[in-house]
Structure 1
Amino acid sequence: MSLTAESVWNNCLEFIKDNIQPQAYKTWFEPIIAVKLTENALSIQVPSKFFYEWLEEHYVKILKVALTKELGKNAKLVYIIKMENTYGNKQPFTEKIPSSNRSAVKSQDVDIPLNNKSPELRNPFVIPGIRNVKIESQLNPNYSFDNFLEGDSNRLARSAGLAVANKPGGTSFNPLLIFGGVGLGKTHLAHAIGVDIKDKYPEKTVLYISAEKFTQQYIDAIKKNNRNDFIHFYQIIDVLIIDDVQFLSGKSGTQDVFFHIFNHLHQNGKQVVLTSDKAPVDMQDIEQRLLSRFKWGLSAELQTPDFETRVSILKNKLYRDGVEMPEEIIEYVAKNIKSNVRELEGAIISLIAQSSFNKKEITIDLARIIVEKFVKNTKREVSIDYIQKVVSDYFQMDIDTLQSKTRKRHIVQARQLAMFFAKKFTKASLASIGSQIGKRDHATVLHACKTVDNLSSTDKQFRKYVEDITKKLSV
């Protein structure tokens, strides 16, 4: 019986399958296609250069043993690196490849044994010049379900998170989108899901990343002509957790690449967890095709905790810190600080610190002084600078852009809104407002206020901008 590429490779796979983890086999060997056999050289097709580099880095020894068993000691392995259209597009997905391998298909003879110069791994988390091929989860083990206390305000999100952690990719909560205001525990819950999955399924590759860092990695990949490697890196993740996904607003290139990565993960039963400061329906400048995918799973809101939950949070915090405090003081703090968990814990830390540093007993009078100061400080002074910060953050731009001379419509509107709110919330003159917001004159500020009034009454979307920013400035 004559040997064929398929028969040789299938025999190799049988041997490899018996000697590595099932998940590793599925990820790294099932996608390989045997192409041809010429004397003692087997040609195999792999999906990307990244894939080839990973095989070389981790599985060269087992490949050598398997192939030598089949073809003898002079066995050779030839890699054919071919970018496949795995994204469901009508047109093939193509990418510019560096000049050394510009053709769509690259064949490369790799003698076994190989030399010791391993190719550089395209892992966006690796610091250049430092050898580190392991994909670290980037998770914080201090964020767990144990210290994420359940209450009416978070029960749905926490329960869904536990379900995902028990069966990642195997529930209808895929993606799981957790949304809510600042300091309510979105990041904590996202980490807790990842930490629990790593504990239950140590063989799974779990990765936590902020949308901002994801965007920066993508920009770097484009600059270095590594877009395909970037995509493939994220396609091999079993559980991808992206924090503050609203940061992708207006970034069409990053949204496009995330769309392809999301599709691949979802189609292959991998889990996606997202957090956002707003529900999908309220996200601005996110492509409709991406928003529709956010809605495939479950969107769970984290709301402001009620009184009972705030008391439980404080008691848990004190217990973990080994501090005892009278019940009436805990309840006083819980009644007076209602905004979010972060400020609640901050107030109790301030109270403990004052008591410790000044060697004062924790009394209701001390609590009253601390809470009054804390509440006063957290109710930020509404200044023109603060208004500019809130508006620029809302539209995901920096203050320099807001103040610039550009006439781009979305920037002009943001600038006009800043002027409108400065007139509404401060006692500054029109000339002073104009001077502080991009060195404009009083006539520009007057025009901005009239424009905001007009658009608020005629444009539903613009009216929502006004309402959202008003809420943020009124906190």
Structure 2
Amino acid sequence: MSKTAESVWNNCLAFIEDNITSQAYKTWFEPIKAVKLTDNALSIQVPSKFFYEWLEEHYVKILKVALTKELGQTAKLVYIIKMENTYGNKQPFTEKIPSSNRSNLQSQEVDVPLKNKSPELKNPFVIPGIRNVKIESQLNPNYNFESFLEGESNRLARSAGLAVANKPGGTSFNPLLIFGGVGLGKTHLGHAIGVDIKDKYPEKTVLYISAEKFTQQYIESVKKNNRNDFIHFYQIIDVLIVDDIQLLSGKAGTQDVFFHIFNHLHQNGKQVILTSDKAPVDMIDIEQRLLSRFKWGLSAELNHPDYDTRVAIIKNKLYRDGVEMPEDIVEFLANNIKTNIRELEGAIISLIAHSSFNKKEITIDLARKIVDNYVKHTKREVSIDYIQKVVSDYFQMDVDTLQSKTRKRHIVQARQLAMFFAKKFTKASLASIGSQIGQRDHATVLHACKTVDNLSTTDKQFRKYVEDLNKKLTL
């Protein structure tokens, strides 16, 4: 008996239903329709891009197992994304993935290989004959200029990014340092510049790397005694994008090697793009020679998006996911989530997911519930300065007293508590925490954290200090 798309998919569904929760099955698999079976490729229709991305992120492994059981190792899965969009266009809508939106297609077939889509970053310096090895850019094509909407809060940074993408290494924006708070789009913009450069200059070697990963690779190269290979690898890059450069704080060896790599790239007309959560002038425990180089080009700040930009971001996100939402709900979200773009997009995804799970329309009541819950559980970024102020106020002293050299017991304890909470609530290194709290070294901070842990278990009054301050810092 010859197999049909329906019979293959029904067998897959039977296997999947036995291996996931009934709620997940009803939400994510019952709405799918089998369309056709051609050359061992099963085409299935899903109702939105959001739906497709959710399946790929959460159920790709079980889909692979189910389809392989039915069609063998050469099985392929093709998604047909068919969705409705109501922004002035009543026609069925899809967008080509990952290129620009297109509204003139009835459906879009997306051939997705059944494999894990997040391969581990290859360690490039252990590969022999490195000059002949193709270097993967590590860029995310979904983070592009098209999805990075312009507004008052990001106009300078976005314009500078476009200029760099048009002429990498050939503008005065070298390095380009993009800085701003959490969730404002620094990483997105860094990727967008790299994606645009790869599109315009495919021959150029572009590499995105987080400062944390860069540090790990450097430590590994020292352990394996191939530091020179590490430096050489980074010196052959045409466009280097380093995310969260402030994480080099207090890491003298990593800063030294980055200094030499930076100099080589800059002197040879290569482009360097950096992101940071603070401006160069506010970076602690970064060598002055590095800070001076960060200031050679342009430092462009990303600020919190204004109301109009927030509305545009919501509408763009909905348009790209093929989801409709009433105007009053869009305005409600824009009015109530002001902190950053990441929170805004997260709330939209939560709203869509809740609507899908419960099979309910998106209403203002559902939006209010999601926003209340989302904002309440969103962890607020806490700075070391803020921690020192809260601790000082609690013990009725000023910050200068907290940071002073005095050995009076109550001041020492206050200082130790500030160090303890700085380690708990920030990503700063021990050296950076010590430097900001009275010019202490990392050993002092480590001792302070151990002291707080010990006293919390043996001293009832001290434990109350910890509990009270923890509440104040997490309100």
- Count of matched residue positions in the alignment of Structure 1 and Structure 2: 312
Alpha-carbon distance in structure 2 between the residues aligned to 1:134 and 1:275: 25
What is residue 411 of structure 2 aligned with on the other side?
none
1:395 is aligned to 2:394: no
Whether the 8 Å contact between 1:434 and 1:441 is mirrored in structure 2 is no
Q: TM-score, normalised by structure 2?
A: 0.59
3-state SS in 2 of match to 1:265: helix
**What code does the residue aligned with 2:348 have?**
I
Distance 2:185 2:123 in 1: 27
**Matching of residues 38-437 of structure 1 within 5 Å:** 124-125=123-124, 133-379=133-379, 388=421, 391=424, 393-397=426-430, 409-413=441-445, 434-435=452-453
- In structure 1, what is the Cα distance between the partners aligned to 2:276 and 2:380? 23
Equivalent pair of 1:434/1:442 in contact (CA under 8 Å): no
Change (3 A) 1:282 1:176: same
Residue 69 of structure 1 aligns with which residue?
none
Give the root-mean-square deviation of aligned CA atoms.
Answer: 3.8
Cα deviation, 1:367-398, whole Å, max 9, x if unaligned, reads: 11111111111156999999747656342259
Partner of 1:90: none
CA drift of 1:223 comes to 1.5
Amino acid at match of 2:198: K
SS in 2 for 1:178: strand
Q: Would the aligned equivalents of 2:245 and 2:275 in 1 still touch at CA under 8 Å?
A: yes
Deviation at 1:356, TM superposition (A): 1.6
Amino acid of the structure 1 residue aligned with 2:154: N
CA distance in 1, matches of 2:343, 2:473: 17
Q: Distance in 1 between matches of 2:420 and 2:342?
A: 22
SS of 1:146's partner is helix
SS at match of 2:241: strand
Worse-matched range after superposition: 197-206 or 381-390? 381-390
The amino acid that maps onto 2:444 is V
Show CA shifts across 1:423-450 (max 9, x none). Answer: xxxxxxxxxx9447776757989999xx
What SS does the aligned partner of 1:304 have?
Answer: coil
Scaled by the length of structure 1, the TM-score of the pair is: 0.59
Q: Secondary structure at the match of 1:338?
A: coil
TM-aligned CA deviation for residue 410 of structure 1: 3.5
- Alpha-carbon distance, 1:232 to partner: 1.3
Deviation per residue, 1:311-348 (Å, 9 max, x gap): 10000000000001011100101100111111101111
Which residue identity is paired with 2:156? L
Larger Rg: 1
Classify the secondary structure of the residue corresponding to 2:260. helix
How many angstroms apart in 2 are the aligned matches of 1:171 and 1:193? 14
Residue equivalent to 2:92: none
Contact 2:430–2:442 (8 Å) recurs in 1: no
Q: Distance in 1 between matches of 2:269 and 2:182?
A: 31
Question: Kindly tell me: are residues 196 and 380 of structure 1, through their superposed partners in 2, closer, same or farther at Cα, counting changes over 3 Å?
Answer: closer
Structure 1 residues 187 and 440, CA, compared in 2 at 3 Å: closer, same or farther? farther
CA contact (8 A) 1:178 1:186 kept: yes
> Do the aligned partners of 1:390 and 1:473 also contact (CA within 8 Å) in 2?
no
Q: Summarize the Cα distance change of 1:311–1:415 in structure 2 as closer, same or farther, 3 Å threshold.
A: farther
* CA deviation map 1:41-62 (0-9, x unaligned): xxxxxxxxxxxxxxxxxxxxxx
- Of residues 134-143 and 221-230 in structure 1, the stretch that sits farther from structure 2 once superposed is 221-230
Identity %: 71
Q: Which residue in the other structure is 1:87 paired with? A: none
Which structure 2 residue ranges, 5 or more long, are not aligned? 1-121, 388-416
One-letter code of the match for 1:284? I
Write the distance in 2 (CA, Å) between the matches of 1:364 and 1:415: 51
Residues in 1 aligned to 2:347 and 2:318: alpha-carbon distance in whole angstroms = 12
Q: Which amino acid aligns with 2:426?
A: D
Quick one: which amino acid aligns to residue 216 of structure 1? Answer: Q
Distance 1:172 1:341 in 2: 29
Instruction: Report if the CA contact (8 A) 1:165-1:197 is conserved.
Output: yes
Tell me which residue corresponds to 2:102: none
CA distance in 2, matches of 1:298, 1:381: 26
Counterparts in 2 of 1:266 and 1:221: CA distance versus 1, 3 Å = same
Residue 290 to residue 358, structure 1, CA distance change in 2 (3 Å): same
Structure 2 Cα separation of the partners of residues 397 and 373 of structure 1: 34
